[in-house]
Structure 1
Amino acid sequence: MKVFSYLLFLGFVVLGVWSVRRCMRAIQVSRMHASSREEQFLLAASADLGGPNKAPDAAPNTVQPPKTNKASPMETELLAREERLVYLLLKVALPEFEVLTHVSSAKLLPRGEHLGLAVLDFVVCRKDFRPVAVVVLDRAGEPSHPARSRALAELAGTGVKLAHWRVEQLPGRTAVRNWVLDDAVPGERRFAA
C-alpha cells in the first residue's frame, strides 16, 4: 500500500511539473506573438503614415468641389510622421495612460516659474490628466531653443520624468514602459534603444 501511494504521489508530482512547464511554454509563445503583433502594428502604422491618405474616387453622379491649392483644415496634419510613430509607441506601451501632444510648458510649471513658453512634444498623464512624464524629441540638425531649454530645466526639478528621444533611434516598448512605471527614476534622462 505504501508503494502504491508513493507511486501515486510521484505521478501527481510529474503531472504537476509537466503541466507547469507546458503553461510556461504557452506563456512564452503568447508573449512572443504579442510583441510580434505590436511590432507589426507599429510597422503597418509607419507604412500607413508614409504617404498622404488618398480619397476614394467619387461616384460619377456626384458634384466635385473646386480644386484649390489651399489645404482645408481636414487635410492638415497635426503631427509629423515621426511624431505619429512616437504617439503610437506611447499608446501601445502605456495603454493605461493618456498621451497628450504639443503641450505648452506653462501648463506644467507652477505659476510665475516659466520665463519663456515652450511647447513640449509629448506628455504622458494618468487617467485624471496629472502629468507623469514628458518626452522631448531631439531631431538631428535642429538647434535647441533657449526658451525650451529653460523650460526643460525647470521641469526637471518638478518631479515629472523627462526623457529626450532621438527621432532616428526610438526606444523599445518595454524600455518605455519600465521608464514610466519605475518610481526610482527621477529627473531627466536621455536614452535610445
Structure 2
Amino acid sequence: MQAIVILMIVCLMGWLVYHAWSIYRTRFSSLRESETSRYAAFVAEAQAAGPSPVVASARIESPGARVALLDAAERIVYFNLKLTLPDHEILARVDPAALTGMGSVIPPRAMLDFVVCRKDFTPAAVIMLLRSVDDDPLRERAAQQLAQTGLRVLRWPVAALPKRQEMRGAVLGMAAV
C-alpha cells in the first residue's frame, strides 16, 4: 500500500515539474521572439533614417528635454556588438585616459566611441567610428597612444559599418567568419 502511495506522489510531482517546465518554455520563447522583432524594427528604422549628426553637437531645446546618449549609428554598432559578443561588456563614450593610465596626457575631449571588455572588465578592443574624412586630431593621438599600450584599435566608417560577423572577427582578432 505504501508503494502505491509513493508511486502516486512521484507521478504527481513529475507532472507538476513537467507542467512548470512547459509554462516556462512557452513564456520565455515568446519573450525572445519579441526581443528579436523589436531589435529588427529598431535596426530598420535607424537604417532608414540614415546617419545622424554627432550627439555632442545636439542642442537641448528646453530644460526638461532629454537627449539620446548614442546617435543612430552608435546604437546600431552597440546592439550588433551586444548580439555578437554576449560574453563581453560594451562601454560607450569612454575617456582614453582611463585606459592608458596617463591622466592628463590625453585631453578629456577625445572620447572613444566604444570599448569592448572581457567579463572581468579588462579592455579587449577599442572602436572608433569615423564620421568624416578629417577626423579629430585629438582622437588620432589617443588612438596612437592606445595602440602603443597593446590595445586593438578598430576604426569603422559610419557610412560603411561592418556586418555582425565581421565585427565579431575584428574585435576578437580573427578573420571574419
Matches within 5 A, 1:20-39: none
Spell out, residue by residue over 1:11-51, the C-alpha distance to the aligned partner (whole angstroms, 9 max, x if none).
xxxxxxxxxxxxxxxxxxxxxxxxxx97x765422235578
Contact 2:116 2:123 in 1 (8 A): yes
2:94 to 79, 88, 103: 103
Q: Distance in 2 between matches of 1:42 and 1:173?
A: 14
Contact 1:42 1:85 in 2 (8 A): no
TM-score normalised by length of structure 1: 0.58
C-alpha displacement of 1:147: 1.7
Counterpart in 1 of 2:43?
Answer: 46
Matches within 5 A, 1:8-157: 43-49=40-46, 70=62, 72=64, 75-111=66-102, 114-117=105-108, 118-140=110-132, 143-157=134-148
Counterpart in 1 of 2:27?
Answer: none
Contact 2:128 2:155 in 1 (8 A): yes
C-alpha displacement of 1:105: 0.7
Contact 2:89 2:116 in 1 (8 A): yes
Alpha carbons of 1:116 and 1:78: their partners in 2 closer, same or farther (altered >3 Å)? same
C-alpha displacement of 1:160: 1.0
Q: Distance in 2 between matches of 1:163 and 1:155?
A: 11
Q: Distance in 2 between matches of 1:71 and 1:89?
A: 32
Q: Distance in 2 between matches of 1:101 and 1:128?
A: 17
TM-score normalised by length of structure 2: 0.62
Percent of counterpart pairs with the same letter? 39
Counterpart in 2 of 1:161?
Answer: 152
Alpha carbons of 1:167 and 1:147: their partners in 2 closer, same or farther (altered >3 Å)? same
C-alpha displacement of 1:71: 5.4
Tell me, which stretches of 5 or more residues in structure 2 are unaligned? 1-34, 50-60
Helix, strand or coil at the partner of 1:159? coil
Asked which structure has the greater CA Rg, the reply is 1
The count of corresponding residues between Structure 1 and Structure 2 is 129
Q: CA RMSD in A?
A: 2.8
- Structure with bigger helix share is 2
